[in-house]
Amino acid sequence: DAGVTQSPTHLIKTRGQQVTLRCSPKSGHDTVSWYQQALGQGPQFIFQYYEEEERQRGNFPDRFSGHQFPNYSSELNVNALLLGDSALYLCASSLDRGRTEAFFGQGTRLTVV
């Protein structure tokens, strides 16, 4: 079992650009959640996908959007990047809309310059 895999591991973008991060959940998991972790902070919930729909959303602007595919993998898109979007983006997979333990990927380190 490969666990939760995220790609890329690191990337650098310029302000105003758009970025897409990818996540493959743990085998058998149907729920994917995305978190943003700024330096020195705990992870903050962005949104959760279940059955290819966004089920919950945290306090993030519409510049943050996502998608879940039929194979349960997911993408996080961020438009019009700001310097403040620099962070570690973590994907978590779970069963049953998160009412069980979540498994996290290693994250994607996004740097906006």
Binding site for another protein (CB under 8 A): 4, 33, 35, 41-45, 48, 56, 58, 88, 90, 92, 97-99, 101-107, 109
**Residue (23 or 78) nearer to another protein, CB:** 23
DSSP letters of the chain?
----EEE-SEEEE-TT--EEEEEEPPTT--EEEEEEE-TTS--EEEEEEETTEEEEE-S--TTEEEEE-TTS-EEEEE-S--GGG-EEEEEEEESGGGSS--EE---EEEEE-
Please, what is the minimum distance in Å from the beta carbon of residue 9 to another protein?
9
In the complex, what is the shortest distance from the CB of residue 88 to another protein, in angstroms, rounded to a whole number?
A: 8
Residue 16 Cβ, how far from another protein at the closest point, in Å? Answer: 27
Q: Which is nearer to another protein, 15 or 111 (CB)?
A: 111
